Amino acid sequence: MGATSVCPGEFARDLFDDALDVYVAMIRSAFLTVGLYLLLSGVVLCVVEEVVFNAKISETPAPVVELLTRVADSGLRTFHPPEWMAFTFVGVGAVTMMYAIALPRRA
């Protein structure tokens, strides 16, 4: 009757290629988003001299917060970002965004 048969290997390969295209697009989006977040955080850190945490954060015991902050006279925790942190965030964010743009596109 002239029925055409599709090779299972071709079907699986086409399905794999479609899934790979979606995966690469998702990875590109994730890298671009993380890079943009780091870049904008670095720009904000260029302007900010001091971050003062509210009472809830200041009272919550967290080793990372205690390591990076100091307790002010008011009893609230403060964070003074070092100057190098802003430039590092901007640089890493920009490089990450360039990497996302440079990822190869599948045709």
Question: Domain map of the chain by residue range?
Answer: 9-102
3-state helix, strand, coil in the chain (%, to 5): 65, 5, 25
* Mean predicted lDDT score pLDDT of the chain: 84
**How far lies 50's CA from each of 12, 42, 53, in Å?**
56, 14, 10
For residue 36, pLDDT over 70 is answered with yes
The residue type found at 90 is V
Q: Is the pTM of this model over 0.85?
A: no
Which pLDDT band holds residue 84 (cuts at 50, 70, 90)? very high
Percent pLDDT > 70 in the chain is 82
